[in-house]
Structure 1
Amino acid sequence: MFPHLEEIDTACRERLEIIEKAMMQQEGVTEALKDADQMAWVRSMNSIHNRAEEIVLAELVYC
């Protein structure tokens, strides 16, 4: 059972990273924003992470 769980964990982490990068690009969340307005960057990143996590859970865990 552990190899299966490890495989799912790896797939989830990889998919999460891909989705987050795509959302960051679409929404213009960059290092420049981080330098200019850290709180806006943190808000955006938290939102992106939460939405991406919901997608990954729906696609890979709860399916």
Structure 2
Amino acid sequence: MDYFEKYRYPIVGGLVGALVAICIFTIGFWKMILLLILVALGIFVGLFLKSTGIIEQFKKRH
């Protein structure tokens, strides 16, 4: 466990890099770029809705 704590970020970075490489080889470069853009857009919309409280207001009305 001490080894993981010492090298946590390089290990996580290597795993993320391997996952991205596998996705690029299986679904293609441009589809992977589109996937990353859509995920980022979804995160942005989710954070915006949470910060404005729109969802909570909608739930309270119905």
- What TM-score range do you get, normalising by the shorter chain? 0.3 to 0.5
Find the structure with the greater CA-based Rg: 2
| TM-score (ref. length: structure 1) | 0.46
Q: Identify the structure with bigger relative contact order (alpha carbons < 8 Å, sequence gap 6+).
A: 1
So what's the TM-score if we normalise by structure 2?
0.46
